[in-house]
């Protein structure tokens, strides 16, 4: 992604945009880093919502707790991105307002490239998620039914 404005974040709803921009470069005063986008989703920030996901938690007590967050995030992802996640990966979360539903956010999550990893994603494997989990208010506004998940199945790729 070459532009620095957060206005580009909602463009990740489009599969072709993702395929052209699977890598996010995020530079700070202290570090220059590249990240592979692995999840793109909408979340409701209203605390009364039953499926509020706390995606801004900086630390986790265990790798299992972190991987549970990743599982929940991938359930919500609009695009099934072919990027694996490990418990010790560093995550970048970019988000902006999602104006179609008040008090909602459009989120792009990416993991930092690992040491010696190339900044390449096999975008040919990326597909639209046929049944992402949206916030309840999304279904009330746009229709459809919430998908059900089998928690015995894994949602991450190796």
Q: What is the pLDDT of residue 150?
A: 67
Predicted structure pTM score:
0.84
The domain of 124 spans: 6-142
Q: Tell me if 147 is assigned to some domain.
A: no
Q: Tell me if 122 is assigned to some domain.
A: yes
Please give the full DSSP string across 96-144, using - where no structure is assigned: EE-TTSTTEEEEEEEEEPPTT--S---GGG-EE-SS----HHHHHHH--
User: Domain with 96 in it: what CATH number?
Assistant: 2.40.260.10
Mean pLDDT (the chain, rounded): 84
Other beta carbons within 10 angstroms of residue 23's beta carbon come to 14
Res 78 pLDDT > 60: yes
User: How many folded domains does the chain comprise?
Assistant: 1
- 66 vs 46: CA distance, rounded Å: 23
pLDDT digits over 11-38, tens only? Answer: 999 999 999 999 999 888 888 999 999 9
Q: Tell me if 109 is assigned to some domain.
A: yes
pLDDT digits over 84-109, tens only? Answer: 999 999 999 998 989 899 888 899 99
Q: Tell me if 16 is assigned to some domain.
A: yes
Q: What is the pLDDT of residue 64?
A: 84
């Amino acid at each position: 992604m070459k532009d620095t404005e957060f206005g580009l974040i909602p463009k990740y709803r489009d599969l072709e945009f993702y395929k052209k921009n699977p890598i996010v470069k995020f530079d700070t005063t202290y570090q220059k880093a590249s990240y592979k986008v692995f999840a793109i989703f909408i979340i409701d920030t209203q605390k009364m919502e039953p499926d509020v996901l706390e995606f801004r938690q900086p630390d986790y007590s265990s790798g299992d707790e972190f991987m549970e967050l990743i599982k929940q995030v991938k359930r919500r992802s609009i695009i099934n991105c072919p990027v694996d996640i490990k418990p010790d990966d560093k995550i970048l979360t970019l988000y902006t307002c999602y104006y179609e539903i008040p008090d909602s956010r459009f989120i792009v999550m990416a993991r930092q490239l690992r040491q010696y990893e190339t900044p390449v994603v096999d975008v040919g494997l990326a597909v639209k998620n046929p049944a992402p989990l949206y916030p309840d208010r999304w279904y009330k506004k746009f229709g459809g039914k919430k998908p059900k998940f089998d928690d015995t199945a894994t949602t991450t790729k190796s």
